[in-house]
Structures are given as C-alpha cells and as structure tokens.
Structure 1
Amino acid sequence: MKPIDTTPHKAPEDEPFLQRFHRRKVAARRGEPLSDEPPSGELATPAPAAPPGPEPLLTDEDMPPIESLTAESDFSGFLSPGVSEDLRRAALRRLWQVADLDFVDELDIYAGDYTRFEPLGDLVTREMSRRLERAVRREAERLVEGQPTGRSPNEGPSEIAPTDTIAPDEEKGIQQMTQRGEWEEKTDAG
C-alpha cells in the first residue's frame, strides 16, 4: 500500500473519496484550515430564495358564490381564518353535496352490515351443545332420583328444551365435583 500524502494541497477533481476524506481528517486534527471548495458550482447549495411575503388573508368577499362550486373547485380558500364560520360550513356542506362520495370500500371495517346474521343451518355451536347436554343431564338426574319429569307415562319421548340459566347451587355443585374428579366418574358410570 502506498503512503497517503497528507500535505495540504489543492485536491484534483479525480481524487478518490476515501483519500480526500483521510486528507481532510488529518488536516482537521492538525488544526489546519480546510480550504477545499467544491470543484465546480454543481455541488454548491443554491442561495435560499427570499421567503415569500405573507399570503393575503382571504375574507368572505374573496370567495366565489356557493352555488358555483363543483366537485373540481378548490375549497381550501374557505378554510382561511378570515372566512366566516357560516360561509365555511356552507362551503363544506356544498362539497359533500357535489362530491362523488357514494363509493364504499368493502375493506373498511365499518362497511359491513353487522346487524343481519346468516342462519347457522345444521351447525351446532359449542354453547348450544353445552346447554343441550346440561338439560339432558338434569333430566337423567331427575329420572335416577325418581322425580316426575313433568310428563305422563303414556306420552312418548319428547324433546328436552334447553334452558338459558342454571341454578347457582347446581352450578356450584358441578364445579366442586369436577374439581374433585367425581363428575367424570359419575358420567362414565351412568
């Protein structure tokens, strides 16, 4: 590897970036002034343009008539602080009237109608089967205990209607039996 010349000199335009970087780094450590200018005007930053003067404050008199506004009109002037609130609201109301906003994107979360559900058909949900099993279990317990089921012996088998609620005492007993492992033995034996 050839040694890098670190003496301050005018860098040629074709000097590789790393060599120029190293040369400038060494010069900065020595405290030498860095006098490298961009080789041409192409890298020089342009002078900042004079900031434009403040935009004139638009008022109600500067706004076009509401009836002449179309969907292609520029409504931004109506949002100027100098425009009255009534005119601003009228312009925005007009925007909603003339704009083609009836397109509904089906991917929007609010686009679906969640008030109408499709029927489940023959599908039995877990909650439905749980309620049915609970009703069958109650009926079986009543038969074992010899309590009347509410129908006469002459009637044929009827469908047991599931109930929506379970008595708190009964549910507590089932939970305790399940925790002790007694419930599984009863259902297996029965």
Structure 2
Amino acid sequence: MSDDGFFSRWSKRKQEVKAGREVEPEPTAPPAAPVVANAPIAEELPAPAEPLPTLDDAQALTPESDFRRFVAGDVPHDVRNTALKKLFADPRFNVQDGLDVYIDDYSKPDPIPPAMLRQLASAQFLDLFDEKKKKEQEDEEGREAADDPTDQSVAQSPQAETAVPPDADPDLRLQQDDAPGPAGPGERPE
C-alpha cells in the first residue's frame, strides 16, 4: 500500500474513470489480527491445552492461589462453585460494609425504656407497674392516720350514711341524670 490516504486514492480512481482509463482493482489485504497494546508475545502463540481443573484441585486451593483457571467457561459448575466458596471464605472478601440496608436482625424488638413504658396507657391498664397500688397504699395509710382518734385535736361531725360503699371509685358510680332524653319518633321536643 502506498502512503496515500483513502481520499487521495479515491480521487485518483475517480479521475481515471472520467478519463476513460481502466481502473486497477483494489488489492485486498487479508484481515489483520487485532493488535492488543502491551500484550506479551507469549500470548500470541497458542498455549498448550491444560487439563480442566477437578474437584480435588478446587478443594486444595488456598487464599493465595490463582483462581482464574477455575472460572473459565468450560469448567464444570460444581468445580467452579467449590473454588468460589473457597475464595469468598477468605476474611478479606467476607466482610460486610455496614451500608447494607437490611443487615440488622429486625425480628428482635428493641426494648422500650421503662420511663416511656410507664407513660403508655396499655401498660397502666395491664398494671405492669405497681405505682397505682403503691399510691393506693399511701392513701390508705393516710386515711388510717386521719381516722385515728388519738391524734385528732378537732371534734369531728358524725358521718352520714351513703348508699355507695366508701371504697367505691367515685368516677365509676352511677349519677342521676335529670336532663330530658332525646325525642323519640313522633314526639315533640319540650
């Protein structure tokens, strides 16, 4: 081939066709092998065929071994899997980065701090804490001290009898409702 570029050769052929001269066919070169930069010369020669690795070879691997021949396309799957298990069992490759979203065990609940648990209505309803009983005991002790006639310096009036037992919670007692009820069907509100 000449040092001319493609366009200069094309131009010369076009001018020769216009002048009526016969044009020589372009010489065809055999396709060149792709050139790989910095490729060692030994790779250009076909390598002698190595036998395929076996399962015993995969089990004899160490972290410093060369794993390239075990991941080739023609290696059996069980040999490849065994070699990769050996590779990833090495602590250098068996480290989680901590950025994984689902790395925690979410089946273990976080304990609720006792101060927050005391504020929950369900904890109070279930009597998880004895604060209410403790308060009732303190109130009872205060009542007993107040009812003790030896420490009283002021005369007390007699207590009136009530229909409600004295130990009943006042919020739970039924109250009389004197308000008129809702108007029924066909009735006029008053």
Query: Larger radius of gyration, structure 1 or 2?
Result: 2
TM over 0.5: no
* TM-score, normalised relative to structure 2: 0.32
Q: By percentage of residues, which structure has more helix?
A: 1
